[in-house]
Amino acid sequence: MLVSNTIKKQMEETGWIRRMFEEGINMKKIHGDANVFDFSLGNPFIEPPEQLIRALIDTLNDPVPGMHRYMPNNGYEEVRDEIAVYLREFYNMPFTAEHVYMSAGSAGGINILLKSMLNSGDEVIVPKPYFMEYKYYIESHGGAIKTVSTDEQFQLDMEKIDAAITPKTKAILINSPNNPTGVVYGEEKLRELAEILTDYRKKGKDIYIISDDAYKKLVFDNITLPNIFKIYDLVISVTSHSKDLAVPGERIGYIAISPKIKEVKSLISALMFSSRALGFVNAPALFQRVIGKFQKNSIDIMDYQEKRDFIYNTLIEAGFECVKPQGAFYVFPKSPMKDELKFVKLMQEEERILAVPGRGFGKSGYFRIAYCVPFDKIVRAADGFKNMGKRYIRKG
């Protein structure tokens, strides 16, 4: 067999986002795009900021010699300097260029980080629901994932996290605002987590927090994200500009290593090696040259907040149980059927609405809606959600 048994098994377990996305493509061919309501993929419909586009054009029109050549694996120093200035201001911590590593988006950053950190059998705790590909990132680099359930509001459950820690625990991987729930982990919860991990440090066990910050600028209702670097010492953040600047296809982001981590130089060296070993080599040269100047920029947050409000209110009116998202561009309602895959298929067949079953995020009984689509698409899907509510929630 050409395809390995491991990959076959992993493909069967996951891939729900892409499966639904591909089904949506087929449905649009039959019914037309206007008649299919595809909420499967977190692929921003909104365009990047005009200033970013202009900066790219200016860079191409006025190239510096060697603009497209290799650079050090960790990225251009001047770009890392620009990002360090932003990090110093944002987190009020003494970041320098040596604490920044330019990466090919969050996925590339998390992969080279895990390859650099994990010994065979090391465990990484991941609160669920979670972005399912974390599991394969961890396993690909010799680690073992340990998922722990969150509470009814999808906030961190400290008892479950504490119970999951073993001598093999190397890190806890968190994502806030969260994909698929849109929930922001509160400061009180993060401080409780830090207390648990600090107790282990006192006993000689260092456990790192890896924070996937792909959605950190997409926060609603004037909520301020907790300063995780101030809350705990051993933090490594991985950031992507795929969502906040709407450039997911450009694969640009960075790793930020807490200035309180003493082994920063050895970690950077390991990341350089891992980048080459995994074939990333370096982050894209062209986008590196412009991205440092856009650390304070983002797409219009109010656009997503208005969409959040409309889709959330529609779901509640239709009778769905749902935690109100605080960020990102996802909502994670409870399925009225225990088998959420059956319900997702019924939405597809009866109302041409495509969502992703919760099992694709390690949480059966729920489904994910990605509302990073044109507002008109959400408005026209509203009757479909209400019809599903009448048929399967409020019948009888």
Co-location of 245 and 330 in the same domain: no
* CATH number, domain containing residue 225: 3.40.640.10
* Residues 250-293: tens digit of each pLDDT: 999 999 999 999 999 999 999 999 999 999 999 999 999 999 99
pLDDT class for 34, splitting at 50, 70, 90? confident
Co-location of 84 and 206 in the same domain: yes
Co-location of 175 and 321 in the same domain: no
Output the six-digit token pair for 363.
């949480």
Of 294, 325, 359, which residue constitutes the final position of a domain? 294
Co-location of 194 and 177 in the same domain: yes
Domain span including residue 290: 50-294
- Cβ neighbourhood burial of 90 (10 Å; 0-12, 13-18, 19+): middle
Read off the pLDDT of each residue in 153-174 and give the average, rounded to a whole number.
Answer: 98
Q: Given this model, what pLDDT does residue 35 score?
A: 81
319 φ/ψ sector (left φ>0, alpha ψ -120 to 50, else beta): left
Co-location of 165 and 222 in the same domain: yes
Q: Given this model, what pLDDT does residue 18 score?
A: 66
- The residue assigned the tokens 């992993």 is 10
Read off the pLDDT of each residue in 31-37 and give the average, rounded to a whole number.
Answer: 81
- Indicate the number of domains in the chain: 2
**Which pTM value belongs to this model?**
0.95
Read off the pLDDT of each residue in 185-199 and give the average, rounded to a whole number.
Answer: 97
Computed on alpha carbons and rounded to an integer, the radius of gyration of the chain in Å comes to: 21
Of 294, 321, 350, which residue constitutes the final position of a domain? 294
Co-location of 204 and 317 in the same domain: no
* Residues 303-320: tens digit of each pLDDT: 999 999 999 999 999 999
Co-location of 121 and 187 in the same domain: yes
pLDDT class for 396, splitting at 50, 70, 90? very low
Co-location of 73 and 156 in the same domain: yes
* CATH number, domain containing residue 364: 3.90.1150.10
% of the chain beyond a pLDDT of 70: 97
* Residues 48-90: tens digit of each pLDDT: 999 999 999 999 999 999 999 999 999 999 999 999 999 999 9
Co-location of 208 and 271 in the same domain: yes
Co-location of 99 and 23 in the same domain: no
Of 274, 294, 314, which residue constitutes the final position of a domain? 294
* Residues 104-161: tens digit of each pLDDT: 999 999 999 999 999 999 999 999 999 999 999 999 999 999 999 999 999 999 999 9
Co-location of 286 and 387 in the same domain: no
* Residues 202-212: tens digit of each pLDDT: 999 999 999 99
| C-alpha–C-alpha distance, residues 298 and 90, integer Å | 15
pLDDT class for 343, splitting at 50, 70, 90? very high
DSSP run (H or E) holding 145: strand 144-149
Higher pLDDT, 187 or 18: 187
| C-alpha–C-alpha distance, residues 230 and 92, integer Å | 8
Co-location of 88 and 198 in the same domain: yes
